[in-house]
């Protein structure tokens, strides 16, 4: 039986978008200091109106080996290895065929630092906890159903769960182990999607920035440009995504050590999705840096991998609308 959309349904979903921030974990981006990971979910249009989407995922990332520009530095640096295990939650709702809102949240199960000095490594403590949240609005600026072409724009607001840095056993954790930036910020993006019967193409540019936290530390901003191609066969779809990441240097008003002095990365992110049940999809992916350039001397991204489970439900009969897998 179809559920007829009413004001009460829309109001209920809007309330859930806000309330979900109080209880659930996000998939967003920060810098080479192992901030909140970049989402590698497929680029998607606004979709059909009165559609609810719930996305839960886990992601593991590894950093090791220091670089100066493109030069690998052997037996060098404060850290031997950095890693994280990140849990994410996303709730989205399309109020119309052109307008959607979503709430992203995230939780670090752990952020691990391994020091090159064995004595320091004995004292190392993992960071963990909620990273922050983001409210994002997406609007379809131009939609051509016949040619299956769409241009969307988005604007989002970031907020931290805590402005104070994490302290364990009376010691403040280093920036690389902090679960949250402790700062407010924002995100803007513009994307174009072209769909055919069994394959699609998408292009997106995304700008992310942060303000200062209570330690007068400001994480660098990021320009992320992604291009992707998708092919579908029965219940399976494969996506090949290429992401260009340009990040500016962190800034400290107190001249403290910077976790990141800026970088330029090109990341290959293959993805494989499978429809498990009606409306339920499983996606697995990897992030593989194929080009790395670091300003200053920084520990480098080795790889990241993860999965997401996505449930989608439309409360009314879908209109003719672009959907990018």
Please give the C-alpha separations between residue 164 and each of 88, 167, 177, 182, in angstroms, as whole numbers.
22, 9, 14, 6
- Residue 10 — very low, low, confident or very high, per pLDDT cuts 50/70/90? very low
The set of long-range contacts for 224-228, using a CB threshold of 8 Å and a minimum separation of 24, is: 224/29, 224/38, 226/43, 226/202, 227/201, 227/202, 227/203, 228/42, 228/43, 228/201, 228/202
* List of E strands, the chain: 51-69, 71-73, 79-94, 99-115, 127-144, 149-159, 167-168, 171-172, 185-195, 199-210, 217-218, 222-233, 236-247, 251-252, 263-277, 280-314
Domain 7-314 has CATH 3.40.50.2000: no
Q: How far is CA 306 from CA 62, 96, 285, in A?
A: 12, 31, 6
3-state secondary structure of 22: helix
| Consecutive H or E run containing 19 | helix 7-23
Structure tokens at 55: 């996305």
> Which residues partner with 101 through β-bridges?
93, 137
- DSSP code of residue 212: B
Summarize the confidence of residues 233-237 as an average pLDDT.
93
Model confidence pLDDT, tens digit, residues 254-296: 877 788 899 999 999 999 999 998 889 999 999 999 999 999 8
Spatial contact of 308 and 59, defined as CB atoms under 8 Å apart: no
Give the strand pairing for 236-247 and 217-218: unpaired
Structure confidence at residue 248 (pLDDT): 95
Q: Is 162 helix (H, G, I), strand (E, B) or coil?
A: coil
Average pLDDT over residues 80-105: 95
Locate the domains of the chain by residue range.
Answer: 7-314
How many percent of the chain have pLDDT more than 70? 83
Residue 201: predicted pLDDT: 95
Separation of alpha carbons 233 and 209, rounded Å: 38
What is the SS3 assignment for 121? Answer: helix
- Residue 23 phi/psi, 5-degree rounding, is -125, -20
Model pLDDT, residue 17: 43
């Amino acid at each position: 039986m179809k559920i007829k959309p009413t004001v009460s349904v829309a109001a209920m979903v809007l309330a859930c978008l806000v309330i979900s921030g109080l209880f659930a974990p996000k998939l967003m981006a920060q810098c080479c200091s192992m901030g909140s990971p970049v989402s590698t979910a497929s680029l998607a249009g606004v979709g059909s109106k009165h559609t609810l989407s719930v996305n839960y995922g886990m992601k593991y990332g590894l950093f090791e080996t220091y670089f100066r520009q493109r030069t690998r530095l052997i037996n060098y640096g404060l850290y031997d290895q950095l890693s994280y295990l990140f849990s994410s939650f996303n709730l989205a709702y399309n109020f119309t065929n052109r307008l959607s809102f979503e709430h992203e949240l995230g939780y670090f199960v752990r952020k691990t630092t391994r020091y090159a000095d064995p004595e320091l490594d004995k004292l190392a403590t993992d960071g963990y906890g909620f990273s922050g949240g983001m409210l994002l609005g997406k609007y379809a600026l131009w939609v051509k159903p016949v040619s299956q072409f769409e241009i969307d724009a988005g604007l989002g607001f970031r907020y931290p769960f805590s402005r104070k840095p994490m302290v364990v056993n009376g010691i403040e954790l280093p920036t690389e182990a902090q679960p949250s930036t402790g700062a407010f910020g924002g995100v803007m993006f513009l994307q174009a999607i072209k769909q055919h019967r069994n394959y699609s193409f998408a292009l997106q540019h995304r700008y992310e920035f942060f303000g200062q936290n209570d330690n007068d530390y400001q994480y660098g901003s990021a320009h992320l440009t992604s291009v992707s191609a998708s092919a579908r066969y029965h219940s399976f779809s494969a996506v090949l995504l290429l992401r260009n990441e340009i990040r500016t240097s962190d800034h400290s008003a107190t001249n403290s050590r910077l976790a990141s002095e800026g970088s330029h990365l090109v990341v290959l992110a293959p993805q494989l999705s499978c429809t498990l049940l009606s409306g339920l999809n499983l996606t697995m992916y990897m992030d593989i840096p194929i080009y790395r350039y670091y300003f200053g001397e920084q520990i480098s991204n080795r790889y990241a991998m993860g999965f997401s489970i996505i449930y989608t439900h439309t409360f009314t009969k879908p209109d003719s609308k672009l959907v990018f897998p």
